[in-house]
Amino acid sequence: MQRIRTIDNWKEILERSRSKACLVLKFSMTCISSISALKEFKALATDLPKYLVIVQMDRVVSNAIACDIQVKHESPQLLILQDGKGIWQATHYKIKQPLLVDGIKQYVKTTT
C-alpha cells in the first residue's frame, strides 16, 4: 500500500487507472470506523494496487479526489478507480472484505 501525499502523485495514480484499476482508501486518524476500514483494506487480498490518503495530513489531495472523480467526500471511503474515474465506493462500516471483493468482481473490467 502506498500513501498519496501530493496532487501530482494523485494525478499519476488517476492516469494509471486507465490501464489498471486501483483502490484508494481515504482514512481519518480520528475516526473509529476508519480504523476498522484500514484493517479490512490491509487484509484484502487483491492484485490491484492499493493507495491510502490520510485526510488530516493530505486534505488538499482528499479534496482533489472528490473534485476530480465527482464523488462526495466521506471518511473512511474506499474508491475503486478505473479508466480515469471512480467506478464504485463504500463508506464507513460498509468497508468490509466480502463487500470489497464483490465490488471488485462486479465493477472492475479485466482485460484478457
pLDDT tens-digit series, residues 79-110: 999 999 999 999 999 999 999 999 999 999 88
Name which of 108, 112, 3 is nearest 47 in CA terms.
108
* Rounded Cα gap, residues 23 and 51, in angstroms: 6
- Return the pLDDT at 111: 61
CATH number assigned to the domain with residue range 2-107, chosen from the 4 options 3.40.30.10, 1.10.540.10, 3.90.1150.10, 3.40.50.620: 3.40.30.10
- Return the pLDDT at 37: 96
E-only strand ranges, the chain: 2-3, 22-27, 50-54, 77-82, 85-91
Label residue 70 left, alpha or beta by phi (over 0 means left) and psi (-120 to 50 means alpha): left
Q: Is the pLDDT of residue 112 over 60?
A: no
At 7, which helix (H) or strand (E)?
helix 7-16
- pTM for the predicted model, two decimal places: 0.94
- pLDDT tens by residue, 19-50: 999 999 999 999 999 999 999 999 999 999 99
